[in-house]
Amino acid sequence: MSDTSPPTPGPEPFRVPDGDLDDLASTLAKTMAEVRQHGVILDRLGSEPPPAATASEAAGHAPIPETLDAKGEDEGPASVFIVALGGEAYAAEIAALTDWVNYLFLPVYGREISSTRPWCAQWHEHPEAVARLHALWLAWQQLTDTEAGLAGPATWHRDHLDHTLAHLRAPDGPFAACTTSPSRPHHRVLATPAPQPLTAEGAA
């Protein structure tokens, strides 16, 4: 005798609400953008030689040494500040900083170039500019994070951006010999005082 009972219905298909689907699509797009950015940085590291000197060395200072753990093993640089980095670590950091400068800092806060507000398209060759912009970027990462609270961005503007802009683009700042008119681009790194050895008289 054949079985004539109706077939057991399968589970109903799972449906994602439209609102959640939009969130998933947005998250996926953001993740893919980050992956592409990391790929660009890795490509640069593979195709470009590391800089001959870090910003610290270019400014005439010795690089900050790397720290050792209790076993004497390398733990990496003693600081996340760019002047403490060298080689591939510096190259990766300057590439990421350049993206932030080009796609956020300049479009939003660049302001017009003038004789009282110089700028240099080759800012990455000015050690002071690299140091100031990197410090500004580190503060931006911390103070625009959700954990910084609602007042974080205002704190970043007040305590970091305004101060940095005042020094970075001052007429006597690191770009004093660079572009003061968009129609006349110019770039020159100003000389800095040479370090002097400590004399016996100075040590007394």
Q: Are 64 and 79 in contact (CB under 8 A)?
A: yes
**Structural domain includes residue 89:** yes
Q: Which domain holds residue 143?
A: 27-168
Count CB atoms within 10 A of the CB of residue 185. Answer: 14
Q: Are 103 and 137 in contact (CB under 8 A)?
A: no
pLDDT of residue 187: 93
Closest to 109 (Cα-Cα) out of 137, 131, 130, 89: 137
pLDDT of residue 38: 58
**Structural domain includes residue 60:** yes
**Structural domain includes residue 61:** yes
pLDDT of residue 18: 61
**Structural domain includes residue 88:** yes
C-alpha dihedral sign at 17, 22, 23, 24: positive
Give CA–CA dist 27/121, Å, rounded: 34
Give CA–CA dist 130/82, Å, rounded: 8
pLDDT of residue 67: 43
**Structural domain includes residue 133:** yes
**Structural domain includes residue 62:** yes
Distance in Å from the first CA to the final CA of the chain:
113
Write out the DSSP string of 131-152.
Answer: HHHHHHHHHHHHHTSGGG-TTH
Q: Which long-range contacts link 155-161 to residues 24+ away (Cβ below 8 Å)?
A: 160/135, 160/136, 161/109, 161/136
Say what the pTM is. 0.62
Give CA–CA dist 131/110, Å, rounded: 17
How many structural domains comprise the chain?
A: 1
For residues 174, 90, 94, 47, the Cα torsion angle rounded to the nearest 10 degrees is 130
The SS3 call for residue 119 is: strand
Q: Which residues of the chain fall below pLDDT 50?
A: 49-70, 72
pLDDT of residue 84: 84
Q: Are 32 and 25 in contact (CB under 8 A)?
A: no
Determine if residue 143 is left, alpha or beta; phi over 0 gives left, psi from -120 to 50 gives alpha, anything else beta.
alpha
